[in-house]
Amino acid sequence: MTQKAKWKRKLILQGAASVFIRKGYNATTMQDIVEECGISRGGLYLYFDSTETIFYTLLMENSQSMELDFMHMMAESQSFREIMECFFDEQQAELFHAEQSMMTATYEFFLAHKSEQDKRFLQEQYDRSVTSLLRVLEYGVARNEVRFHDPEQIVRHIILSIEGIRIYTVSVGVSHNMIEGQIEMLKSLVMGFEHRFGMRGDSEC
Amino acid sequence: MTQKAKWKRKLILQGAASVFIRKGYNATTMQDIVEECGISRGGLYLYFDSTETIFYTLLMENSQSMELDFMHMMAESQSFREIMECFFDEQQAELFHAEQSMMTATYEFFLAHKSEQDKRFLQEQYDRSVTSLLRVLEYGVARNEVRFHDPEQIVRHIILSIEGIRIYTVSVGVSHNMIEGQIEMLKSLVMGFEHRFGMRGDSEC
């Protein structure tokens, strides 16, 4: 792909994300994305054949970006604690601004897609998050920063609890206070309860 | 309400639940419920004016039933540990048979209902679950069976994590093994990590 094509593809994905955030998954059409991006219909179809493909791509690139962040931070020998603080800070920021995220669209997508192929895709996304977060926990163990009885179970627990907070955030609506409390609790679970008394706010994400 | 009316109301709710489980929330009509229950249309409208009201009632009675179970078990002086085992066993059983529960319908309902009144209803349901589970934790503390740094945060964490497992169960699908692992983890959190070595399977739910 040429540099220009890459740039155009990125522009389309960003525009599409804005529409999905505003209108949800089901109500978004290719025409909406054409209008949002200010490109021609033919131009859009050169890159993506449907809103479904675009949505898939957005979900995939989102989870890849988390994976890449982790890999960079580990390559730079950042401490386990710093990496986890960054991860949880990002999750918290997303939950604080749920109305500006693709959460609602993602739930619509989740519920509408019941084919075996779609389930497999979602399963792969989930497994991928588990694997990349697990790698960070193992890194923390290798650095002697933490110990875990069953790290995989803890990772699954983190991902599932954040999902639970998400569904409540988009449906019922929860206070920032409560989100903070829950994120704090997950931090305690993964970093040990003494983390509250450790140095905070001095790490750079 | 006469005994016969109570019985008929219960029959309608049961029939409606079956339809919601089978067809989801959006696709269910009053006609479906008429057919399922084998009653007349007029007969149905004597009790409920819409599928929405029926759905509300089902959600409400479901959370009241949990509350009542807790109250009975506490009135009978069952141990905190027994009560929590029962609670988690029930949650696990529901997750194991997600296709026979109203989970998917509930998510549809959650996502479709965005009016302030509906949000308030969902909020109340959530607060109610928090309050009744919190009462059980306080009961455990009063009986000197457990101690908690922040019981309310733990209760919210339990409810939100179970919600997270639910959404994954109905969308991605998770193995019984993983559900068991996660429930085990929540048990550890609330009953202390030694619970695994305590007596199990000898309590009656």
ipTM of the complex, rounded to two decimals: 0.81
DSSP B99: G
Q: How close A38 gets to chain B, by Cα (Å)?
A: 30
Residues on chain A touching B123 (C-beta within 8 angstroms): 172-173
What would the mean pLDDT of A86-106 be, rounded to a whole number?
A: 90
What would the mean pLDDT of A5-10 be, rounded to a whole number?
A: 92
Same domain, B72 and B133: yes
What is the CATH classification number for the domain harbouring B88? 1.10.357.10
Q: How close B123 gets to chain A, by Cα (Å)?
A: 6
Q: How close A43 gets to chain B, by Cα (Å)?
A: 33
Same domain, A90 and A182: yes
Same domain, B61 and B99: yes
- Domain containing B70 equals 52-197
Q: Do A111 and B104 touch (CB under 8 A)?
A: yes
Domain boundary residue, one of B14, B33, B49: B49
In a domain, B56, yes or no: yes
If interface means Cβ-Cβ distance under 8 Å, which residues of chain A face chain B? 104, 107-108, 110-111, 113, 119, 122-123, 126, 150, 153-154, 156-157, 159-168, 170-173, 178, 181-182, 184-185
Q: Do B107 and A108 touch (CB under 8 A)?
A: no
What would the mean pLDDT of A170-182 be, rounded to a whole number?
A: 89
Q: How close B59 gets to chain A, by Cα (Å)?
A: 14
Same domain, A2 and A89: no
**How many separate domains does chain B show?**
2
Same domain, B181 and B125: yes
What would the mean pLDDT of B178-203 be, rounded to a whole number?
A: 71
Burial B54-72 (b: 16+ CB within 10 A, else e): bbbbbbeeeeeebeebbee
Same domain, B38 and B61: no
Q: Which residues contact B192 (CB under 8 A, 6 or more apart)?
A: B146
Which pLDDT belongs to residue A30? 97
Same domain, B81 and B30: no
What would the mean pLDDT of B195-205 be, rounded to a whole number?
A: 43
Same domain, B104 and B8: no
Same domain, A176 and A84: yes
Find out whether B124 and B44 touch, Cβ atoms under 8 Å: no
Q: Which residues contact B186 (CB under 8 A, 6 or more apart)?
A: B88, B158, B161, B162
What would the mean pLDDT of B5-14 be, rounded to a whole number?
A: 93
Which residue is associated with the tokens 């970006």?
A: A65
pLDDT in tens, B71-126: 999 999 999 999 999 999 999 999 999 888 888 888 788 777 667 887 888 888 88
Query: How many CA atoms does the CB half-sphere of A41 hold within 13 Å?
Result: 4
Same domain, B63 and B44: no
pLDDT in tens, B144-187: 999 998 899 999 999 999 999 988 888 788 899 999 999 999 99
